[in-house]
Amino acid sequence: MTQKYSNADKTQSNTIECLNISEKKVGLFVTCLVNTMRPSIGFASITLLEQAGCNVEVPELQSCCGQPAFNSGDDEGTRQIAYQTIKQFENYDYVVLPSGSCAGMIKKNFIEVFKDQPEWLARAKHLASITHELLSFLVDVCQFEPNDVELDGSYTYHDSCTGYRSLNVYEQPRKMLSQVKNLEHKPLNNHAECCGFGGTFCVKYSDISNEIVAEKVDNVVDTKADYLLGGDMGCLMNIAGKLNREGHKEIKALHTAEVLAGLAPELLGGKDAS
Amino acid sequence: MTKHINNPKNELRRAKIFNAIKAAAPTVTTDVKSIEAEALELLKESEFARPKLLSEDATQALMLRIEAGLVIGTSCEKISTAHDLPNAVNQFFSKHFLPKELKVQNIEPLQKLNWEGISTDVDIQQDNTVGLCWAEYGIAETGSFVVHSSPEMPILLNFLPLYLIAVIPKSKILHYMDDYALIANEIAKKKETPRNMCLISGVSGTTDIEGVLVQGAHGPEVLHLIIIEDQ
Amino acid sequence: MQVNSPENFTENVSEALAQPNLKKVIRRTTDKAETKRAEAVTNFPEFENARLQGQKIKDHTIKYMDHYLAEFEKNALAQGTIVHWASTAEEASKIVLDICRQHNAKKVTRSKSMLGEEIGLAHAFDNSDIERIETDLAEHIIQLAGDPPSHIIWPAMHRSREDVVKLFREFHTDPTYSEEITDLVRSARRDLRTKFLTSDIGISGSNFLLADSGSSCTVTNEGNAELTITPPKVHIVTAGIEKLVPSMAHAVPLLRLLTRSATGAEITQYNTFHNGPKRANDADGPEECHIVLVDNGRTKMLAENMEAMLRCIRCGACMNHCVVYKHIGGHAYGSVYPGPMGSVLTPHLNSLKVANKQTHACTMNGRCEEVCPVNIPLPTLLRSLRAKSWQKKYEPLTNRFVVQSFAIMAKRPKLFQLLSSCGVIFMKVFSRKGWIKYMPFTSGWTRNRDLIEPESTTFMHQYKKMKKNKSSGA
């Protein structure tokens, strides 16, 4: 591998770990938005992880990463949710989420609410150390390259904030997408500026959120790309919802995993993946 | 004056603030030596936390910086001795189409020069004047000159005229702001800090109306630095 | 002066969003600042080292704040500066007004100071018989307009050139009839020149206080601080106690960070260290010098684990890079300090009860922390304020109810899965052609954008079915 990362140390340690990926058990945390709104992202994740040689399991007793409670300042509510998640996932070798935002919650924020509980703090830290965002996991840990995927047209990429700033997700999706045949990249102006979703923010301050996403939509439309791709269902729902409200039905929003797993043609043809 | 210092209300407010700080951080040591050592340690990082200069030679670095247009409204030249200064000033007048009027700082190395043909009786409170001052130091990193207030250095001389010429002895050009600050720290140790120490890096400018840069907001619009080699 | 209250944040936001040109004028300034800062950082490869050093210098001084405050006081007194202490904003502005009255001052000139705004100096002078003259061009403009500042670096960024033309024509004694920006600046220069020279008292803030000498440092591009301070007989400095650094050598690394982060310039034109009254035979300078050291919530921040915020050097980078600030502007925050840093500061200067809404007006995108020159974890601090206001039950009951109900469901995965399935069925009822335009309980979303139609059943439902099929097939 020759590509550059801003976080070289992390990549290196991951490279050593990844030698016998097939012996490792991967727990997939599908996240609540994917579970309710867009199951195809979950299935795309399974497909890609299996193509990368992983042994994937989806624990059935999973719910939410706890971000709405955490960002509202409800530490006790966050802990109650986190107990569940830690118990469900701590025994896997890796935990993977198709969302930078939810992965960031587990990797960075669980430890915030367990400051005064040493036993749970240790367990939260362990979970944080095995948790990965899907797209960076595929590249950094599995050294995965998408095989034989094709999609006609052009895409632009929205980098979601937590993935980009906290988890160094930037090159990985672009690298994999560059291997998709017939797919052209059109850079997005202000690619890493927040889309205004912000979880509970978008309903608490709906009108500010609206101004922000309207600007994002202008930037997306300016690229004249056929597809808007990203790695977070929250941002995609927000931008796609605004694109549709503004009448830009020609631009389709897809999760990067859906494209890489070859689900795009099916999703674009009919709306149901299953 | 002392009535303020011994004001009991002031003492009470002072005590309140100190008590609040101590209550917030009760475990902090007050061993002055170790605090000073820690503070010194922090300065060692400066070497790795400052920009590279345009040249290893301080004078050249300063001049290159100004010539590259990195110091707002500022030009510079080098002359060999102070005796060349009146000639350089005359050229400055011609370049800016100015009458030969100059407020010369009342300092021996400037006053002793031959200012024939130049009117030095100028009221700097009026706008559109030219000031000439003798700087304490130059700083290559920022293209600055430094002045210290003194009986011979009215600070306003650097702020009231629309045109300002500052003379910097070559030997007093330092590489970095840190080099000047270390000198200032030594002056502070000797309790000799002057009322004002001004690091001036360009002309008076503003971007307050629609973000457009305008020079000569309140003070100089044009600044010319003259480096004297034999000093 | 019409000043918004932080308590009415929601209403302030609606007003701001309704102003057609506000976003444009904000962007004009913040976009430029953002681009220029990025260039400055690119041209300074040592920036990361610098900001770590800057952070350490501030942390060191905050850790030993009582030591450095005492040192500063001792050295300032030795130079003849009169040192005052103020625990609150009211105390601080009263001290300043009292000094002015003792000298029978008729006119005072001020160079821009956010602390001066914080302690309500402008207001205090306007309610007295002493004339206040703002000398920073932006402050001059908003004083004429009767506005509060909308940004800590460019307080008049919300005012257009046309506004300035009108204001100067109305208020300047020798106004320009040109609309060129250069001529407008000249008009202000003429107007302020005599005011500088005839002022009774000069008032400044301070960017840094040097403990080893008792000096205060002003940083300006206009040179108005020196012109404010030098001619009058009396100089008054007002400064927050967090402005301390051990010495000038410790201020230098912070100066490198400050200008690059604020405007993208490598250095501000005028960095001046002021140290007491004029010495015997000095050519100019004030005869008397006072400094008012202000707490106003800073020790409270120390006590409440918010000491990282005391690192702040007031560069404004966090607001220049904040998506929320860029759309609502500074006035909506209803506080002297807007944007991310303001949302953390205001609850401590005012109260969390009054200023908790701002702490939620953040998408937690992390951009402010990324650009902060002293690594203040602004999103973490904002969230910790949310946690405090949650504990104190300051949020509206409906918000608490929604968040708590969600948490109650989410900690019971089986219930959560069941309700998710119900949610999908409910949403399906309102879906048309792949989209939901309106649905009960989701107006926050559907007021401004459509909601994508979910698939027919949840992931978990489909996944279980798939697994069952696989095992029965095998």
CA B40 to chain centre: 24
pLDDT over 80 (residue A263):
yes
Whether residues C403 and A43 touch (CB distance < 8 A) is answered with no
C358 in a structural domain: no
pLDDT of the residue at A8: 38
- The Cα–Cα gap between C156 and C142 comes to 6
Whether residues C328 and A208 touch (CB distance < 8 A) is answered with yes
Q: Indicate the angle between helix axes C137-145 and C161-171, nearest 10 degrees.
A: 70
Same domain assignment for residues B170 and B99: yes
How would you classify the pairing of strands B137-139 and B144-148? Answer: antiparallel
Residues A72-126: tens digit of each pLDDT: 999 999 999 999 999 999 999 999 999 999 999 999 999 999 999 999 999 999 9
Same domain assignment for residues B69 and B153: yes
Of B20, B196, B217, which has the smallest distance from its Cβ to C185's Cβ? Answer: B217
| Domain count of the fold of chain C | 2
% chain B with pLDDT above 70: 96
Of C69, C197, C222, which has the smallest distance from its Cβ to B205's Cβ? Answer: C222
C460 in a structural domain: yes
pLDDT of the residue at A14: 43
Residues A142-158: tens digit of each pLDDT: 999 998 999 999 999 99
Mutate to test the interface with A, among C370, C446, C449 (most CBs of A within 10 A): C449
pLDDT over 60 (residue B2):
no
Q: What is the CA radius of gyration of chain B?
A: 22
Check: CB of residue B122 under 8 Å from CB of residue B102: yes
Q: What is the CA radius of gyration of chain A?
A: 18
Of the candidates C153, C180, C182, C183, the residue with the CA atom closest to the CA atom of residue C26: C153
Q: How is residue A137 written in tokens?
A: 């996991």
Sequence-separated (6 or more) residues with CB below 8 Å from residue C95: C84, C86, C292
Residues of C in contact with A242 (CB under 8 A): 448-450
Same domain assignment for residues B187 and B147: yes
Same domain assignment for residues C269 and C131: yes
Whether residues C49 and B45 touch (CB distance < 8 A) is answered with yes
Max CA distance (Å), chain C: 102
Same domain assignment for residues B90 and B189: yes
Q: How is residue C186 written in tokens?
A: 């000249």
How would you classify the pairing of strands B163-169 and B205-206? Answer: unpaired
Same domain assignment for residues B78 and B157: yes
CB of C381 less than 8 A from some CB of A: no
Tell me the nearest-neighbour CA distance from A60 into chain C, angstroms: 7
Same domain assignment for residues B76 and B128: yes
Subunits close to B (at least 3 CB pairs below 8 A): C
How would you classify the pairing of strands C244-245 and A131-133? Answer: unpaired
Of B46, B70, B202, which has the smallest distance from its Cβ to C269's Cβ? Answer: B202
Check: CB of residue A126 under 8 Å from CB of residue A92: no
C89 in a structural domain: yes
Chains A and B touch (3+ CB pairs under 8 A): no
Burial class of residue A178 in the structure, from the number of CB atoms within 10 Å of its CB (0-12 exposed, 13-18 middle, 19+ buried): exposed
Residues of C in contact with A77 (CB under 8 A): 403-404, 406-408, 411
Whether residues B196 and C274 touch (CB distance < 8 A) is answered with yes
- The Cα–Cα gap between C15 and C7 comes to 14
How would you classify the pairing of strands C107-110 and C201-204? Answer: parallel
Residues with pLDDT less than 70, chain C: 1-2, 473-474
Whether residues A64 and C455 touch (CB distance < 8 A) is answered with no
CB of C385 less than 8 A from some CB of A: yes
Same domain assignment for residues B9 and B62: no
Decide: helix, strand or coil at residue A178: coil
CB of A273 less than 8 A from some CB of C: yes
Same domain assignment for residues B140 and B76: yes
| Domain limits, chain A | 8-141, 150-269
Of the candidates A7, B102, B12, B176, the residue with the CA atom closest to the CA atom of residue C252: B176
Sheet strands (E) in chain A: 25-28, 55-57, 94-97, 131-133, 150-157, 181-185, 227-230, 252-255
Per-residue pLDDT band at A274 (split at 50, 70, 90)? very low
Residues B123-176: tens digit of each pLDDT: 888 878 999 999 999 999 999 999 999 999 999 999 999 999 999 999 999 999
Tell me the nearest-neighbour CA distance from A31 into chain C, angstroms: 10
Residues of C in contact with B207 (CB under 8 A): 154, 221, 263
Q: Which of C244, C275, C299 is the last residue of a domain?
A: C299
pLDDT over 60 (residue A270):
no
Decide: helix, strand or coil at residue B149: coil
How would you classify the pairing of strands B74-79 and B137-139? Answer: unpaired
CB atoms within 10 A of CB A164: 21
- The Cα–Cα gap between B33 and B38 comes to 9
**pTM (predicted TM-score):** 0.94
Nearest 5°: the CA angle B32, B43, C261 is 120
Of the candidates B78, C380, B110, C426, the residue with the CA atom closest to the CA atom of residue A111: C380
- The Cα–Cα gap between B74 and B226 comes to 11
CA A127 to chain centre: 17
Strand ordering across the sheet containing C208-210: B173-174, B137-139, B144-148, B196-200, C270-274, C215-220, C208-210, C244-245
Whether residues A68 and C23 touch (CB distance < 8 A) is answered with no
DSSP notation for A229-246: EES-HHHHHHHHHHHHHT
C313 in a structural domain: no
- The Cα–Cα gap between C462 and A270 comes to 17
* Closest residue in chain A to residue C443, using alpha carbons only: A203
What's domain A150-269's architecture?
A: 3-Layer(aba) Sandwich (3.40)
Same domain assignment for residues B209 and B114: yes
Whether residues C67 and B30 touch (CB distance < 8 A) is answered with yes
Subunits close to C (at least 3 CB pairs below 8 A): A, B
| Domain count of the fold of chain B | 2
Q: Residue B79 is part of a domain; what is its CATH number?
A: 3.40.50.10420
Tell me the nearest-neighbour CA distance from C388 into chain B, angstroms: 18
C195 in a structural domain: yes
pLDDT of the residue at B10: 94
Of the candidates C2, C275, C369, the residue with the CA atom closest to the CA atom of residue C150: C2
Sign of CA dihedral C145, C150, C152, C157: negative
Q: Which of C299, C334, C369 is the last residue of a domain?
A: C299
pLDDT of the residue at C470: 85
Q: Indicate the angle between helix axes C65-78 and B8-24, nearest 10 degrees.
A: 150
Q: Which of C299, C331, C363 is the last residue of a domain?
A: C299
Q: How is residue C463 written in tokens?
A: 């996944």
DSSP notation for B71-108: STTEEEEEESSGGGHHHHHHHHHHHTT--SB-EE-S-H
Q: C131: which strand partners?
A: C107
Same domain assignment for residues B11 and B76: no
Same domain assignment for residues B23 and B129: no
Q: Which of residues 137-196 of A touch C (CB under 8 A)?
A: 161-162, 165-166, 193-194, 196
Domains A8-141 and A150-269 share a fold: yes
Whether residues C249 and B185 touch (CB distance < 8 A) is answered with yes
* End-to-end C-alpha distance for chain B, whole angstroms: 43
Of C49, C230, C249, which has the smallest distance from its Cβ to B48's Cβ? Answer: C49
pLDDT of the residue at A7: 39
Q: A27: which strand partners?
A: A57, A95
Residues of C in contact with A33 (CB under 8 A): none
C17 in a structural domain: no
Residues of B in contact with C249 (CB under 8 A): 43, 46, 178, 181-182, 184-185
Sign of CA dihedral C196, C202, C207, C212: positive
Whether residues A32 and C412 touch (CB distance < 8 A) is answered with no
Sequence-separated (6 or more) residues with CB below 8 Å from residue A43: A261, A263, A273, A274, C459, C462, C463
pLDDT of the residue at B121: 84
- The Cα–Cα gap between A113 and A104 comes to 14
C409 in a structural domain: yes
Mutate to test the interface with C, among B64, B195, B198 (most CBs of C within 10 A): B195
Of the candidates B52, B43, B138, B199, the residue with the CA atom closest to the CA atom of residue C249: B43
Residues A18-28: tens digit of each pLDDT: 457 777 899 99
Domain around B41:
2-47
Domain around C457:
397-473
Whether residues B20 and C250 touch (CB distance < 8 A) is answered with no
- The Cα–Cα gap between C218 and C203 comes to 11
**Three-state SS annotation for chain C:** CCCCCHHHHHHHHHHHHHCCCHHHHHHHHHHHHHHHHHHHHHCCCCHHHHHHHHHHHHHHHHHCHHHHHHHHHHHHHHCCEEEEEECCHHHHHHHHHHHHHHCCCCEEEECCCHHHHHCCHHHHHHCCCCEEEECCHHHHHHHHHCCCCCCCCCCCCCCCHHHHHHHHHHHCCCCCCCCCHHHHHHHHHHHHHHHHHHCCEEEECCCEEECCCCEEEEEECCCHHHHHHCCCCEEEEEEEHHHEECCHHHHHHHHHHHHHHHCCCCCCCEEEEECCCCCCCCCCCCCEEEEEEECCCHHHHHHCCCHHHHHCCCCCHHHHCCHHHHHHCCHHHCCCCCHHHHHHHHHHHCCCCCCCHHHHCCCCCCHHHHHCCCCCCHHHHHHHHHHHHHHCCCCCHHHHHHHHHHHHHHCCHHHHHHHHHHHHHHHHHHEECCEECCCCCCHHHHCCCCEECCCCCCHHHHHHHHHHHHHHHC
DSSP letter at A264 equals H
Q: Which residue has the tokens 């930078």?
A: A100
Same domain assignment for residues B79 and B14: no
Strand ordering across the sheet containing B74-79: B74-79, B222-228, B163-169, B130-134, B103-104
CA B67 to chain centre: 19
C237 in a structural domain: yes
Task: Kindly indicate whether the domain formed by A8-141 is annotated with CATH number 3.40.50.
Answer: yes
Whether residues B204 and C269 touch (CB distance < 8 A) is answered with yes
Whether residues C269 and B154 touch (CB distance < 8 A) is answered with no
